[in-house]
Amino acid sequence: MSNDHKTDIATTGIVEGDIVEFPLPPHHHRLTDTDPRAARRAERQVSTMFILSGLCIIAFIAAYIAIPETSYLNLGPAGTIQTSNFMLGLTFGLATLLIGIAAIHWAKKLMSDEEIVDYRHPVGSPQEDRDAAKAAFDAGVAESGFVERKMVRRTLLGALALFPLPLIVLLKDMGPLPGDSLRHTIWRKGSRIVIDVTGQPLRPEDMQVGSLVSASPADLKAIQEADGDQNARAKASIILVRMKPSDIVSEQGEGWSWNGILAFSKICTHVGCPIALYQQRTHHLLCPCHQSTFDLADSGKVVFGPAARAMPQLPITVDSEGFLVAQSDFQQPVGPSFWERA
């Protein structure tokens, strides 16, 4: 080990021996060191700041008591802001700031500013300590029989290697296993498509060319209430767009659209942001998170950005009552890629 060091220094030829030491420059007295009036002035400044800080704290308490959260303050072009937040912050902030400024001013003007020198000692342990520690360690090793008693040593290492397993196994119930849950959504044959928020079912003639509708299956609300979470929504959200049938270049399946109305998953195939930035002239759908761009007129294929897979299309049709419904579930998993997804 120590041999290595020597060769290192030998091979690197560090320029040594040429160190020139310059003495510490002479100390110059400050005005406050030589002029008692300046020192008294600094003292007054420092204590004034401490007093102002205390006053700010009293103002803070007054503001806390007097100003309700519902009161607002108009600051003109800067906007209207919550008075309570502003006044509490202002008084507390100033009080804190003043203590800081006063303390530093005190240090700079009134405490000694003569630089002092401390000497460093080697950081590492001295050799005798290293030797003593090694001797103690060796003695311990010898007494334990760790080296000679191979059986004990090996079984100990084996036991310790197995020991953490329960800690890992116990994590198993953190969640259920994925199974095929990522491959399905709650869409199924005949699921009625309803407009998000209003929950209205939709007829083809309700949409005109250029329309965009955020939609979900009619039974989503009930399922969500039963599950108590948003899992179903996170996968089943779709957007419907209508374009001139002649504008459609291709679709993911024969007869999946209805008179120019196309349904696509709303969940980006990149990392799962919901997308509805539909640009009706170009039929492009842009993700606001990472700018993946999908051409909805051409099977939802990726035309720009980091997403690798086309936006999954939901096959739709019209039911006997004239409402838009799904022909089936999505024919591929929606959302981001995952290892088992083929």
Partner 1 sequence: MSTVVDGVGKAIGRADDRAPISSLLKDNLRKVFPDHWSFMLGEIALYSFIILLLTGVYLTIWYQPSMQEVVYHGSYQPLVGIPMSEAYNSALHISFDVRGGLLIRQIHHWAALFFMAAMVVHMFRIFFTGAFRKPREFNWVIGGSMILIGLLEGFAGYSLPDDLLSGVGVRIVAGIIESIPVVGTYLLFFLFGGQYPGHDFIPRLYTFHVLLVPGILLASVGLHLVLIFYHKHTQYPGPGRTNDNVVGFPLFPVYTAKAGGFFFIVFGVTVLMAAFVTINPIWAYGPYVPDQVTAGSQPDWYIGFVDGALRAFPNWESENFLGHTWSWNILIPCVLMPGILVALLLSYPFLEAWITGDTREHHLLDRPRNAATRTALGAMAITFYGILVINGANDIVAQAFNLSINQLTWFTRIGVFVFPPLVFIATRRFCLGLQRRDRDLLMHGRESGQILRLPHGEFIEIHTPISDDEKAVILAKRDIAPIEAPPATDENGIATPGLRAKKWRAKLSNAYFGENVKRPTLAEIEAAEHHHHDEVAHEIDVLHEAGAPIPSELTD
Partner 2 sequence: MTSTSVRRNKATGLVVLLAGLVITGVGYAAVTSTAEASVAMYSQTQIDQGKQLFQQGCATCHGLAAQGSSEGPSLIGVGAAAVNFQVATGRMPMAQPANQAPRKVPVYNDDQIAALAAYVASLGPGPAVPSDEDLNTTDANLAEGGVLFRTNCAQCHNFAGHGGALSNGKYAPSLMNATPRQMYEAMLTGPQNMPVFNDKTLPPAEKRAILKYINELQTAPSPGGLALGSLGPVTEGIFIWTAGLGALLAVAVWIGAKVR
Residues 1-60 that bind partner 2 (CB under 8 A): 28, 30-32
> CB 262: neighbour CB atoms within 10 A?
25
**CA 283 – CA 300 distance, rounded (Å):** 9
> CB 305: neighbour CB atoms within 10 A?
16
Candidates 99, 212, 218, 248; binder of partner 1 (CB under 8 A) is 99
Reduced to 3 states (helix: H, G, I; strand: E, B; else coil), residue 198 is coil
**Tokens of residue 195, six digits:** 């407009």
Select from 86-94, 130-138, 155-163, 311-319 the region that touches partner 1 (CB under 8 A): 86-94
By CB under 8 A, what part of segment 195-214 binds partner 1?
Answer: 196, 214
**CA 242 – CA 262 distance, rounded (Å):** 6
Candidates 53, 191, 293, 299; binder of partner 2 (CB under 8 A) is 293
Partner touching 318 among partner 2, partner 1, none, CB below 5 to 8 Å by kind: none
Give the residue with the Cβ less far from partner 2, 99 or 182.
99
Candidates 92, 206, 319, 328; binder of partner 1 (CB under 8 A) is 92
Give the residue with the Cβ less far from partner 2, 40 or 341.
40
> CB 193: neighbour CB atoms within 10 A?
24
Give the residue with the Cβ less far from partner 1, 21 or 321.
21
**Tokens of residue 146, six digits:** 């760790």
Letter string b/e over residues 319-341, b meaning 16 or more CB atoms within 10 A of that residue's CB? eeeebbbbbbbbeebbbbeeeee
Contact 67, 83 (CB under 8 A): yes
Candidates 132, 291, 322, 331; binder of partner 1 (CB under 8 A) is 291
Is 104 among the residues that bind partner 2 (CB under 8 A)?
Answer: yes
Is 213 among the residues that bind partner 2 (CB under 8 A)?
Answer: yes
By CB under 8 A, what part of segment 14-43 binds partner 1?
Answer: 14-16, 18-25
**CA 252 – CA 313 distance, rounded (Å):** 6
Is 278 among the residues that bind partner 2 (CB under 8 A)?
Answer: yes
Partner touching 207 among partner 1, partner 2, none, CB below 5 to 8 Å by kind: partner 2
Candidates 193, 243, 309, 312; binder of partner 1 (CB under 8 A) is 309
Q: At what angle do helices 36-66 and 83-109 cross, to 10 degrees?
A: 160
Candidates 52, 67, 72, 88; binder of partner 2 (CB under 8 A) is 72
Q: How far is the CB of 272 from partner 2 (least distance, A)?
A: 15
Give the residue with the Cβ less far from partner 2, 35 or 340.
35
**CA 112 – CA 241 distance, rounded (Å):** 76
Select from 108-116, 127-135, 144-152, 183-191 the region that touches partner 2 (CB under 8 A): 108-116
By CB under 8 A, what part of segment 131-160 binds partner 1?
Answer: none
Q: Is 228 left (phi over 0), alpha (psi -120 to 50) or beta?
A: left
Helix (H) or strand (E) holding 206: none
Is 341 among the residues that bind partner 1 (CB under 8 A)?
Answer: yes
Partner touching 138 among partner 1, partner 2, none, CB below 5 to 8 Å by kind: none
Contact 91, 56 (CB under 8 A): yes
HSE (CB half, 13 Å, CA atoms) of 59? 18
**CA 218 – CA 201 distance, rounded (Å):** 8
**CA 339 – CA 182 distance, rounded (Å):** 11
Contact 332, 187 (CB under 8 A): no
How many chain residues are in contact with partner 1, going by CB under 8 A? 106
List residues binding partner 2 (CB under 8 A): 28, 30-32, 72, 78-82, 85-86, 104, 108-109, 113, 195-198, 200, 202-203, 205-214, 241, 274-282, 284, 286, 288, 291, 293, 304
